[in-house]
Amino acid sequence: MPEPRPASPSQADAPPEVVARLQATTEDDLAARQVIDASCRGPVLFFFVSAVVWLLIGSLLGALASFKMHTPAFLSGWAPVTFGRIRPAHLNSMIYGWASMAGLGAILWMQARLSRVPLPWGRALIGVGVVWNIIVMVGILAILTGGLTSVEWLEMPDWVAYSLSVPFLLLAVISVVMFRERRVRFVYVSQWYLFGSVFWFPLLYLTTNLLIHGEAAIGIVQSSTNWWFAHNVLGLWLTPVGLAAIYYLIPKVIGRPIHSYYLSLLGFWSLALFYNWAGMHHLIGGPLPLWVVTVSTVASMMMLIPVTAVAINHHFTMIGHFGKLRYSPTLRFIVFGGISYTLVSVQGALQALRIVNETSHFTHYTVGHAHLGVYAFYTMSMYGVIYYVVPRLVGREWPSARLIRIHFWGSGLGILLYWVGLTAGGWLQGRMMNGGLVPFLDIVAFTKPFLVSRTVAASFLTVGHVAFAISMWRMLARREGEGLGPTLLATPTREAGGRREPPRWRFWSARPRTSASAGGGEA
């Protein structure tokens, strides 16, 4: 348990020389944050804005797919909007559009802050973002026009897959460059997670595509490769970024360190050790060697170790600070994401047990679980990142507290309704299918109210997304909001003459810190 340590320059009983030293350190910190945020402004905002556009596109496609689940005749005469194309278009736009673009922006900003160096190659990164958007857009159009593959989560044509590997590798290189130039002694746990994501995912993505599109994996090996990939997209790409954000932002917002640093490291290294093995539980009951599935089930249960470590750490860090959820939008989204991580991980581990899986498999239960992970955990965490980062990049407050609240409640209630409806409906569906007493079409009809609840939930989510997009647009385009205040600690007061010009600080000649802190430098 970290002990409190006096560090505020405002402490009345500190000797004058200590106060002066701390004030100088604070000035250093403010200057460093300003320089780093200024270097991130162009590329990170580009990635975040792209992410929001993809979020709207993905929401539209998802709502349409959900509606067609209970009203299949709707727009059924036009091939591009049939369910078989709309659904993979929704999934790919959310994963490679929204989730990846938001994640890339979060990674770049956090890597710069944690290394305490400005972000290099800003224009090149924007170029990478433009190329990424074009590739994903062409891939989505290929899906809608019938050029999709039959491999779930990899429906975009193979040339798209190979093209996307290049930006991922570039991101890894940039992370290494910043790390080598870092001005801090410690590699904070968030940075371990970020390095995990930027190295694991290119490897995962490239390997899978080479095996599947290169026809090295055929038959059941293709299925196992496919589900190894699909499971690890969440665990080795999205999860590390989401957890990095939670570990970074909770302490930043509440002004206290995490409860146990050792537990956080245990969580990272056990995730690295166990998650990679867990994907085969998607094929329980399939024609795989029994030991392959059993190893995967064991690894899934072992995942309870990192999950418990993260859950304990987050909960104990927040104890005594839950009241702050009332005031901080970032904290609301981040804590919602953290709680959902525990929930989805425990649910996932239980789902890997044969006794549970034989009921939940091939039902809507699995869809509810996937959305709990990608949306309730990861997406809510990324909302928290964006609400924290964007004001610091543009030097203004968000324009409307009401829009943020609409976004939070729309997203929060929407995903809860979505998950509860599909989990309950899917479980009952599985019980009936296994029972063999109810005709299949009657089971389909039975699930209809749950599918309608899913569409209602999608409407809640879409309302939240539209409020979020309006907030972002007003923030960036209309220059609303005060340039002073709580989220802009580095900004001087109005009386002092508005925003301060960032000091000159080149990436390759950053001046050494003069910090008197025992931490050896802050990020």
Partner 1 sequence: MYGVYALIFGSWAFFVITSVWALLWAIDRRQFDTPHDAAWSILDEDERDGRLNDWFPGERPH
Per CB under 8 A, contacts with partner 1 among 309-368 are 324, 326-331
Nearer to partner 1, 91 or 258 (CB): 258
* Angstrom distance (rounded) from CA 204 to CA 155: 16
Q: Tell the burial category of 370 from Cβ atoms under 10 Å away from its Cβ (0-12, 13-18, 19+).
A: middle
Residues in region 393-412 near partner 1 by CB under 8 A: 397-401, 404-405
Residues in region 87-116 near partner 1 by CB under 8 A: 114
Q: What share of the chain is helix, strand, coil (3-state, %, to 5)?
A: 75, 0, 25
Nearer to partner 1, 169 or 466 (CB): 169
Size of the site for partner 1 (CB under 8 A): 77
Residues in region 467-486 near partner 1 by CB under 8 A: 481-482, 485-486
Residues in region 143-182 near partner 1 by CB under 8 A: none
State which amino acid sits at residue 354: R
State which amino acid sits at residue 330: T
Residue 491 as a binder of partner 1 (CB under 8 A): the answer is no
Contact region with partner 1 (CB under 8 A), list: 7-15, 68-76, 303-311, 342-350 = 7-15
Q: Least distance from C-beta 122 to partner 1, angstroms?
A: 23
Nearer to partner 1, 262 or 473 (CB): 262
Q: Least distance from C-beta 1 to partner 1, angstroms?
A: 9
Q: Least distance from C-beta 407 to partner 1, angstroms?
A: 12
In three-state secondary structure terms, 294 is: helix
* 325-328 contact pairs (CB < 8 A, 24+): 328/253
Residues in region 12-31 near partner 1 by CB under 8 A: 22, 25-26, 29-30
Residue 245 as a binder of partner 1 (CB under 8 A): the answer is no
What's the sign of the alpha-carbon dihedral 97, 102, 108, 114? negative
- Structure tokens given for 75: 């727009």
Q: Least distance from C-beta 150 to partner 1, angstroms?
A: 20
Mark residues 188-217: x for contact with partner 1 by CB under 8 A, - for none.
xxx----x---xx--x--xx--xx--x-x-
Nearer to partner 1, 70 or 256 (CB): 256
DSSP string for residues in 94-129: IIIIIIHHHHHHHHHHHHHHHHTSPPP-HHHHHHHH
Q: Least distance from C-beta 171 to partner 1, angstroms?
A: 16
Residue 226 as a binder of partner 1 (CB under 8 A): the answer is no
Residue 223 as a binder of partner 1 (CB under 8 A): the answer is no
Nearer to partner 1, 91 or 390 (CB): 390
Cα 145 to its chain centre, rounded Å, is 29
* Angstrom distance (rounded) from CA 110 to CA 122: 15
Nearer to partner 1, 3 or 495 (CB): 3
Q: Least distance from C-beta 487 to partner 1, angstroms?
A: 5
Three-state SS sequence of 297-351: HHHHHHCHHHHHHHHHHHHHHHCCCHHHHHCCHHHHHHHHHHHHHHHHHHHHHHH
N- to C-terminal Cα separation, the chain: 21
Nearer to partner 1, 387 or 450 (CB): 387
What number of CA atoms fall less than 13 Å from residue 33's CA on the CB side?
Answer: 20
Residue 72 as a binder of partner 1 (CB under 8 A): the answer is no
Mark residues 425-464: x for contact with partner 1 by CB under 8 A, - for none.
----------------------------------------
Residue 248 as a binder of partner 1 (CB under 8 A): the answer is yes
Among all chains, which residue has been given the structure tokens 């647009």? 473
Q: Least distance from C-beta 4 to partner 1, angstroms?
A: 8
Residue 492 as a binder of partner 1 (CB under 8 A): the answer is no
Number of other residues whose CB lies within 10 A of the CB of residue 74: 12
Q: Tell the burial category of 21 from Cβ atoms under 10 Å away from its Cβ (0-12, 13-18, 19+).
A: middle
Q: Least distance from C-beta 200 to partner 1, angstroms?
A: 8
Nearer to partner 1, 3 or 501 (CB): 3
Residue 183 as a binder of partner 1 (CB under 8 A): the answer is no
Cα 478 to its chain centre, rounded Å, is 28
* Angstrom distance (rounded) from CA 281 to CA 304: 15
Residue 37 as a binder of partner 1 (CB under 8 A): the answer is no
